[in-house]
Structure 1
Amino acid sequence: MNEVVQSKGIVIFSGGSAANSLVDVFTSLTETKKCSLSYVIPISDNGGSSSELIRVFGGPGIGDVRSRLVRLIPENADGDDGQDVHKAAIKAFFNHRLSNDKQKARLEWLDIVEARDELWTNISTSRKELIRSFLNFLNLEIVKRIRPSSAFNFSTASIGNLFLTGARIFTGSFESAIYLLSTICSVPAQISVLPAINTNHTHHISAGLSNGLTIVGQNAISHPSIPTSLPESTLSLSHETYAHDSIEDANLPGSLPSLRKPNIAFSKTDEEDLPARIERIWYINPYGQEIRPPANPKVLEALDAAHTVIYSIGSLYTSIVPSLILRDVGATLASPRIRHKILILNSTNDRETGPSSNPYTAVDFVAAIARAAAESRGLDKAPEPEEYKMYVTHVIHLEGPGTPNVEKARLADLGIETVRLYGRTGEGKGLRYDEKALLQALEVIVGKRDGRRDWNRRNTEA
């Protein structure tokens, strides 16, 4: 985009895969408003192949950051080579996962670092050798860390995650690693991908349920897995901790065993209910003690310069809330300088917004966001309902089978506007947002379109 970008911008709070489906909408909104766009991404994910990177190297959960950067590769803007085939090759390369067979994955990895794999086809020599230098650096670090009790498991590893890890370790800076991948992916200059915490350390979260149970680690909160709540028996916890302490890896001695599991497998489709509603999310150190980390200063700068904040679709308590509870985020969100604070409501309730016998309504979603922001501010009590509009001014939602109930009159009483959209049947269960209708709704709210005169009545309804 060659036009001058306004100082005011748009900030999107999101996780990875779900919000990726709306990236084109947000990019189009930015272009019509001629402003900057910042994605705030949490770094607390400890599932899948990320758990093995964290176990061996420490550092933040980087999968969602990598996913967003690769999704932002432009489809209609030439890179250095001037051909779309090169951009497609870069996208396929960084999204590629190695075999789930441990030995096959290791051999595939060696073919990649030695430039024999066909994934390199159509990637320019300049980019190929730059990428390969960081992968070879990481390979050396992996070899150096091999111990009789511990070796890196390449199964299902994401090449993009391996690259980001190598770049982070080489430069000593997560921010620099993101800049490097962003440059290779030709991400437009007006778009930033900001980790919620700019760190070289691992940050985990815990969830407190209404029945008193505490669940440790993002993966255990978000997806069905072996229970990882704190054991009732101190003896069993000590025994398991002792067993893990005999393994040489990046974990500190005495760290919670539930945070040290390698290659945590999970399912995004077969979800089972949590035993009770989530009441609170907080960050913990490796020993399970609560901590209050600061937000990435660049996140606060983006919020200070924003006219619009959007809470995107995705997992409420593991994609949105971990960014909101960080120090100083809530106070900045509460500022009246940010005119529009828009919640795009999920089309279905999931494991985090159940159980199915008592699913979240739109008011519950808004209340959770307000509680997280108040927590960030260090307030001793949850905000009163009339304070919710400090953090959410609009709710965009779908209506149909399986969608969360939206109490329009109740939200109106709280000073929160609702916009109903007609969705499309998505793959699997539930509806999905129509991109054109969602863009129209966002343009109306932020002021590009002239109120209801520009409103497509077939796609939207207040």
Structure 2
Amino acid sequence: MASKASSHPSSPPGETTGNSDSSRRQGITVFSGGTAANSLVDLFNRIARPSSPRSITPTSSVSKNDSDGDHPQDENHPQQRQLNYIIPISDNGGSSSELIRFVGGPSVGDIRSRLVRLIPSNLTSRETSALRVLFEHRLSPDPIKARGEWAEIVESRSLLWAYISGEKKELIRSVLNILNAEIVKRARPPNVFNFAGASVGNMFLTGARLLTGSFEAGIYLLRMICEIPSWVRVLPAVNSNHTHHISAGWVNGEKGRRGVLTGQVAISHPSEPTSIPDEGVPVNFMGGGGVARLEDDDDEQGMPGSLPVLRRQNLKFSKEEEEDLPEGKGTRIERVWYINLYGHEIMPKANPEVLRELRERTEVVVYSVGSLYTSIVPSLILKEVGQAIETAEGIRKKVLILNSKLDRETRGMDASAFIKAIWRACVESRRPEDVEKMEWKRVVTHLVYIDPGQVEEERMKGDMPRVDVEYLERLGIRCAPVQGKAVGEGKARMMRYDEDELRETLERIINM
């Protein structure tokens, strides 16, 4: 049973407390996916910039004397922290899947989602609001209507361009038209691009990558156009112009069955059966470090793949109707790995900027809410990321914000299983022999979770991961319960963190 711990968690043994070291780094690095963690963006912004209002404000529009607190809002404010969002590029669902299928390159959907969410809310600027509307706009779900809508956008006839200045409009249009020309050039009827449900922001990022030859430069271009402040960064876990996919090995101990799920959609939200059964699956696919990995397979990533599941259109899938993992009850995901387009396990290099932030500027690591095995783990299994989290001397706190509801990937797991999965992801590639060790506090020092004691609905309480507070605290992991609130209706009804209390809890942990 989950027991209620103090909401003022103490520091692990030997951990420095207080803020006496004014010269220490003050960066916060958040590992997350796209949709789920978007709900916490304002919260993280307020923690990183304590004197700012709920929605981030571009520094260019803030006077040195403007403040909603006791201090001016300038870039050199002593309380200012660098905020980094680390997001994987392995999603092969939604409109990103069609861009990957037709044009190639990394998945841009989750990156775009976070960037658009970070566009400053400025009630006095119609252009800022118009840019947000443009980049989060999705074309019609009808392919014919969507193609016509796309033509109106690239030809500057769409009402979406209203209130966007001429110079920005022409810059954005030039990028979109580069992608449009590439789509036309690659079309070989009946194999044509399906515009249904396409995100304009995804199209822009892909076009910017084609224009500059750099995914990183494409992200910078969108940041510059939308005036996203410099103190917050969105970093792809892998900085690559190539497609990256993941596979997951599942095991059902009760039935003695194993298998492989190939592609992120197959792991998290499958639209049709995609599991490879255990017959014919190499045993070393499931092991820790026993696979002969390809250390850097960038050249092969751009070549046509032979796995049909990686060439499939995944435009339609449900995030609400979740079927169980193969073989049903008792099945769990054992590990996740990257594959090339032929299904071979590879070990991609992490984005150098991610490693630099972890080693040089990060004080606090946060594992945010979201899909454990498709939003968090894909970033942790990259080369040197786990090592940096575990060994960087400047990282004082490593906080897991536990999901308030179990999903397809984690059904049947408790909080300890979440932490163990993070530990495995961080150490498996370097020290596979340490996977079963209980040194979890090296990668997770604090656990934040919704207090089940104040959840009245038994069904919702049953959907929440159980937290054994006494067990985790014996391992040196401090636990902090937070109040929650019920949201949604029917099957979608769930508990969500009370934002103000979660912010206060995180600030208390960070400032110890």
Tell me which interval the TM-score lies in, with the shorter structure as reference length.
0.7 to 0.9
The correspondence of residues 168-179 of structure 1 with structure 2, limited to 5 A, is 168-179=209-220
Structure 2 distance, partners of 1:443, 1:321, is 25
1:331-388 deviation digits (Å, cap 9, x = unpaired): 101024311000000110001001xxxx111111100100000124353441412x00
Amino acid at match of 1:416: I
Structure 1 distance, partners of 2:137, 2:235, is 23
The corresponding residue for 2:384 is 328
Structure 2 distance, partners of 1:148, 1:432, is 47
Distance 1:69 1:438, change over 3 A: same
Mapped pair 1:131 → 2:172: yes
Work out which of the residue numbers 332, 335, 341 in structure 2 matches 1:280.
335
Mapped pair 1:65 → 2:117: no
Structure 2 distance, partners of 1:5, 1:389, is 25
Distance 1:233 1:116, change over 3 A: farther
The correspondence of residues 139-178 of structure 1 with structure 2, limited to 5 A, is 139-178=180-219
Structure 2 distance, partners of 1:193, 1:92, is 20
- Give, in angstroms, the shift of residue 85 of structure 1: 2.1
The corresponding residue for 1:244 is none
1:78-125 deviation digits (Å, cap 9, x = unpaired): 8xxxx3322221111111111111111100000000111111112222
**3-state secondary structure, aligned to 1:156:** coil
- Give, in angstroms, the shift of residue 72 of structure 1: 0.4
* Aligned partners of 1:6 and 1:35 also within 8 Å: no
The corresponding residue for 1:247 is none
Structure 2 distance, partners of 1:374, 1:68, is 28
* Aligned partners of 1:6 and 1:34 also within 8 Å: no
1:241-289 deviation digits (Å, cap 9, x = unpaired): xxxxxxxxx9744520000002441101111111310000000010101
The corresponding residue for 1:15 is 33
The correspondence of residues 28-427 of structure 1 with structure 2, limited to 5 A, is 28-32=46-50, 33-76=79-122, 83-211=124-252, 212-230=258-276, 252-275=303-326, 276-304=331-359, 305-335=361-391, 336-354=393-411, 359-385=412-438, 387-398=439-450, 399=452, 400=455, 401=461, 402-427=463-488
**3-state secondary structure, aligned to 2:110:** helix
Work out which of the residue numbers 27, 37, 42 in structure 2 matches 1:24.
42
The corresponding residue for 2:285 is none
**Structure 1 runs of 4+ with >6 Å offset:** 231-234
* Aligned partners of 1:5 and 1:36 also within 8 Å: no
Amino acid at match of 1:420: P
Amino acid at match of 1:377: R
- Give, in angstroms, the shift of residue 210 of structure 1: 1.3
* Aligned partners of 2:304 and 2:341 also within 8 Å: no
**3-state secondary structure, aligned to 2:27:** strand
* Aligned partners of 1:11 and 1:309 also within 8 Å: yes
Mapped pair 1:437 → 2:509: no
Structure 2 distance, partners of 1:148, 1:277, is 42
Q: TM-score, normalised by structure 1?
A: 0.88
**3-state secondary structure, aligned to 2:432:** coil
1:17-63 deviation digits (Å, cap 9, x = unpaired): 10000001111111134110100000000001111100111111110
- Give, in angstroms, the shift of residue 430 of structure 1: 1.0
* Aligned partners of 1:55 and 1:251 also within 8 Å: no
Distance 1:154 1:308, change over 3 A: same
Structure 2 distance, partners of 1:417, 1:326, is 27
* Aligned partners of 2:87 and 2:375 also within 8 Å: yes
* Aligned partners of 1:5 and 1:34 also within 8 Å: no
Amino acid at match of 1:375: E
Structure 2 distance, partners of 1:185, 1:268, is 29
Of the structure 1 ranges 298-307 and 329-338, higher mean CA displacement relative to structure 2 is found in 329-338
Structure 2 distance, partners of 1:143, 1:436, is 49
Distance 1:137 1:367, change over 3 A: same
Distance 1:193 1:376, change over 3 A: farther
Q: TM-score, normalised by structure 2?
A: 0.79
Amino acid at match of 1:414: L
Distance 1:251 1:173, change over 3 A: closer
Unaligned runs of 5+ in 1: 235-249, 452-462
**3-state secondary structure, aligned to 1:352:** coil
Distance 1:348 1:254, change over 3 A: closer
Of the structure 1 ranges 175-184 and 423-432, higher mean CA displacement relative to structure 2 is found in 423-432
**3-state secondary structure, aligned to 1:310:** strand
Amino acid at match of 1:363: S
1:109-158 deviation digits (Å, cap 9, x = unpaired): 00000111111112222211111110111111111111135211111100
* Aligned partners of 1:224 and 1:270 also within 8 Å: no
* Aligned partners of 1:345 and 1:362 also within 8 Å: yes
* Aligned partners of 1:347 and 1:404 also within 8 Å: yes
Structure 1 distance, partners of 2:397, 2:113, is 27
Of the structure 1 ranges 251-260 and 17-26, higher mean CA displacement relative to structure 2 is found in 251-260
Higher-RCO chain (CA-CA 8 Å, sequence separation at least 6): 2
**3-state secondary structure, aligned to 1:50:** helix
Amino acid at match of 2:397: H
Distance 1:231 1:424, change over 3 A: closer
Structure 1 distance, partners of 2:23, 2:160, is 36
- Give, in angstroms, the shift of residue 182 of structure 1: 1.1
